[in-house]
Amino acid sequence: MFLAFKLVFFVQLGRLARRTAIKPLKVAWPGAADLPKPDAELYAEFFGISVVETPLATLVFNTADFDRPFLTENHKIWLFFEPALRQRLTDLDRTASMVERVRSALLEALPAGEVSMKAIGKKLGTGTRTLQLRLQEEGTSFQQTLDAVRFALADHYLRKTMMSSAEIALLLGFEDANSFVRAFRGWTGTTPQSVRRQGEASQ
């Protein structure tokens, strides 16, 4: 998964830059619950903690780790490492599926309302036609991917936070709360309020 690669990369970067075996307090990303057991065990061994499922990719560190000296405070050292780091990120981009790249871009773009295929294609450096064809090859479409990301986030916000429908609509890139409610009903056959009550009842 592209998000998993990113988190592995940044943890490894932190360990190298601070010259210590930094261990995250929490590591999570969408789809983590579906990892095959051998993969989950490998990630747990690398991070030093089991990976959990959340709608958003998450890394939480101990504040003490941020007090450690960062070798890139030395500008010359940073200039030495930067090209290799940028190349590594580019390589990760190439190995990720288009669906994973679109999901990652949507998670960043939704709060700004940048939800069109053209806007996401621009972020990914590809044209809309190419983007559409690549997603079709992977058995999905841009709209299906957008709906899946929005639903996962909406379900999390409704069950785990007290944000209003208007606030959630804004974070998901909808024009208003009514548009969000209509979309949610189309995804689930029920209302956001019903899901919120279910979440409250299970707590």
Which residue, chain included where needed, has tokens 């995804």? 187
Summarised one tens digit per residue, pLDDT across range 12-69 is 777 766 666 788 899 998 888 888 888 888 888 888 899 998 888 888 888 877 666 6
Share of the chain above pLDDT 70, in %: 80
What's the CA gap between 106 and 176, in Å, rounded? 18
> Which pLDDT value is given to residue 18?
65
Give the residue with greater pLDDT, 137 vs 103: 137
Q: Specify which of 50-54, 95-99, 151-155, 184-188 reaches the highest per-range mean pLDDT.
A: 184-188
Domains and CATH numbers, the chain: 2-95 (no CATH), 99-202 (1.10.10.60)
What's the CA gap between 11 and 61, in Å, rounded? 10
User: 10 Å Cβ neighbour count for 33?
Assistant: 12
9 has pLDDT over 80: no
Q: Which of 56-60, 92-96, 123-127, 147-151 has the lowest mean pLDDT?
A: 92-96
Please provide residue 16's backbone torsions phi and psi, each rounded to the nearest 5 degrees. Answer: -70, -45
Residues present in the chain in total? 203
> Which pLDDT value is given to residue 202?
67
69-96: average pLDDT: 54
In 3-state terms the chain splits into helix, strand, coil percentages (rounded to 5) of 70, 5, 25
- Strand order across the 52-53 sheet: 52-53, 26-29, 58-60
Query: What is the pTM assigned to this prediction?
Result: 0.60
Summarised one tens digit per residue, pLDDT across range 173-190 is 998 999 999 999 999 999
